[in-house]
Amino acid sequence: MSELTCHVEIGNTPPAWLEVVKVARHGYQISLSPSAWKKVRCARKAVEKIATSNVPHYGINTGLGALCDVVLKQDELQRLSHHTLMSHACGIGTPLRTEQVRAILCCAVINYSHGYSGISPSVVEGLIRLLNEQITPVVPSRGSVGYLIHMAHIGLALIGHGDVEFRRQQMPAKQALDAIGMPPLTLGPKDGLSLVNGTPAMTGLACLALDDAARLSAWADIIGAMSFEALGGQLNAFMTEVTALKCHPGVQQTGDNLRQLLTDSAHLTRHKGQRLQDALSLRSIPQVHGACRDQFDHAARQVEKELHSATDNPLVVPVENGYQVVSQANPHGASVAMACDLLAIAVCEWSSISERRAYRLVTPQANQLPPFLTTESGVKSGMMIAHYSAASLVADNKRLAQPAVTDNFITSGLQEDHLSFGESAALKLDKTLDNAFYVLAIEYLLASQALDFNDSDDYAKGTSLAWKSLREVLPTYQEEHALHLDIQATYQRLQETQVIDKLLCIAPNLLPSRQPSY
C-alpha cells in the first residue's frame, strides 16, 4: 500500500468505525485535520481561562465524582490531573490485546477532535504519537463498570508511568518515550479527567467486534451453504419468491447469498424431492442468519453515532459570549452497551444454528453419510467429539448472551448511581465472537469431510471453492493426529479474508454493509 492509503485523517468527515479498525488492526497512521486542531485549541483556551476562576467548574477547578463540591487552588490543578490517573489506573487481570488498546487510543483521539473536551493539544499529540510510533500501553482488561479505568492506564504512558509494548518488547513507558525522543507530559487543568472520561474504550472495542462480526456473518453463510449441500437440502426453501415475503433486509441478503453459492449444484439437483421439508437448522438459514445481520446493522449504526459524539464530562460548549462548562452524562455508554449486548445475542444465534447443522452432519439418523463422518466407525470415532466441543462453546455463548447493560451498582458515594457496563458488554462480545469462530470452524471441518465422502464432486461453484480452499491446507481427517490441530488450523483460516474475497464475485452480499445508513 502507498503511504497515502495507509493514513487516516480525522476531522474533515464524520469518522467511520472502519477507520478505527484500519488504525487499530492494520497499523494505519493517524492525524487530525487543521479544522479539528483549531477546535481543540479553542476549547483549551477556554479551559485555561476558566481554571483561574474562583467559581466552581466541575472537573476543572473542583474534585471529581462525589468530591465535586471541593474547590481547588490554582497550584493544585496539575496535581489533580496527575492523581486522577494514578488513582483511576486500577485495572485487573490479563492485558487487552495490542489492537484493542490501539482502537481505544484511536477513539480517544476522535472524541477530543470534536473540540468539546478542552484537553491540552499536547495530550492529543501524545496519543497520536503513541499510535504512529507503535507504542502500546499495557492495559489490564478487567475492572471497568463503564469507563475510566482503561483510559487511565493509557494516560499513565503519556506521563512516563506504567508499562508499554514497543518493538516487540514490554518495557517501562519512560524507556519507550526516551527511545522516540518524546518527553513525558505534564498534565494541566482537566487533562486527567478528560483522559479517563468518555466512551472511547467501549467504542474502540466495539469497532473491532464489528469487523469480526462482519467476517463471521460471511463465513456463516458460506459454511451453512456447504452443510446444506452436503446434507442434500431442498432448495425451494430459498426461492426468491419465498424470501421476498420476509421483509427484513438481512433475510434478503442471506437468501441471495445462499442462492448464489448453491447455483448449478448437480448434487442438490439429484436430491430434489427426496423429502418434503428439511430440518429447521437447514431451511431457516436465511431467516436466522438474516436476523443476525440486521442486528449487525443496528450495532454498526449505534457505534458510528457514538464516534460522531462528544462524550466527555464536563463539556466545554460554545455559547454566545464564549464557552460554558456543562456537567452532564454524555460519557454514559448505554447506546454502545446495548448495541454490544444485542450483537452478542446475534453472534450466539450464528453459533447456535451452526452447532445444530454440525450435529446433523455427524448423526447417522439425520443423514446418508458414513456415521460420524468416518468410513471405519467403531475402530474410529470420526468427528463425533468435535461436535461435543461445538456444543460446549455454544453453551458458553448462551451464558455470554445475557446482557451486561441491565446490571447496576452505586459507585463514588451516591454520585455515580447508574452504570452502563459498556466495556464489559464489549469484552463479552469479543469472547462470544471467538467462541463462534471456533464453532463455525468445526462445522467447516465437518461439512468439508462430508463433501469428501459423496460419490461425486459436482457441487456448486461457490461451495466447491470454499471446500477446496480448506483442502489446500488440511487433508481429509484420518485420525492419525489429534483433531484439535485441525480445528485450530481451520479457525485460523476463518481469520483470513482470501476465500471471502474470491466468493464476493459469486455472492456480492456476503459481507454486511460496511457503511451504516441513517
Phi, psi (5° rounding) for residue 322?
A: 135, -120
Straight-line distance from the first to the last Cα atom of the chain, in angstroms, rounded to the nearest whole number: 31
Count CB neighbours of 21 within 10 A: 23
What number of CA atoms fall less than 13 Å from residue 415's CA on the CB side? Answer: 12
Quick check: 135 and 157 in contact, CB under 8 A? yes
Query: Whose CA is closest to 301, among 249, 371, 240, 262?
Result: 249
- Give CA separation, 481 vs 9, 297, 476, 484, in Å: 49, 41, 12, 9
For 172, the 3-state DSSP assignment is strand
Helix %, strand %, coil % for the chain, to 5?
Answer: 55, 10, 35
Quick check: 117 and 315 in contact, CB under 8 A? yes
Active-site residue among 58, 147, 323, 444?
58
Quick check: 20 and 30 in contact, CB under 8 A? no
- For 323-379, the three-class secondary structure string (H helix, E strand, C coil) is EEEECCCCCCCHHHHHHHHHHHHHHHHHHHHHHHHHHHHHCHHHCCCCHHHCCCECC
Q: Which residues pair with 289 in a beta bridge?
A: none
The CA distance from 457 to 465, in Å, is 11
For 478, the 3-state DSSP assignment is coil
Sign of the dihedral through C-alpha 343, 344, 345, 349: positive
| Amino acid sitting at position 456 | S
| Amino acid sitting at position 228 | F
Query: Whose CA is closest to 41, among 314, 309, 316?
Result: 316
The label of the residue with cell 493544585 reads 76
Question: Is there a catalytic annotation at residue 28?
Answer: no
The CA distance from 448 to 444, in Å, is 6
Q: Which residues have a catalytic role annotated?
A: 58
